[in-house]
Amino acid sequence: MEYVFVTWTQNDPSMPREVYSEIDASRREVRKVEVFADGRYGFASSSLSRGSTQLGLEPLPPVEEIAREKEFNLRRGTAVEFEEMWKRAGGGR
């Protein structure tokens, strides 16, 4: 698994400010956590979701491609960091 964490600089309160994605070898999202400006969390997996958060339908582009977009601040994360966010969002219940 790979873990991609993105901070998204934008002003639309209906869109997340932070996105935490767990992706498989084919670059498809397995689980995702979204954090909104008002403190709400959304999450999604193949069997569970909260709020408007959904897994992407297409494979994630390479991180270098995402990082080229000025509104995204991207970093690679770890499984431990992702699990902490997943639990914080309510996915671990």
Q: What is the pLDDT of residues 15-46, one digit of tens each?
A: 999 999 999 999 999 999 999 999 999 999 99
Q: What is the DSSP string of the chain?
A: -EEEEEEE----TTS-SEEEEEE-TTS-EEEEEEE-TTS-EEEEESS-EETT----SSPPPPHHHHHTSTTEEEEE--HHHHHHHHHHHTTT-
Against a cut of 0.85, is the pTM above it?
yes
Per-residue pLDDT band for 92 (boundaries 50, 70, 90) equals low
Structural domain including 64 reads 2-89
Domain tally, the chain: 1
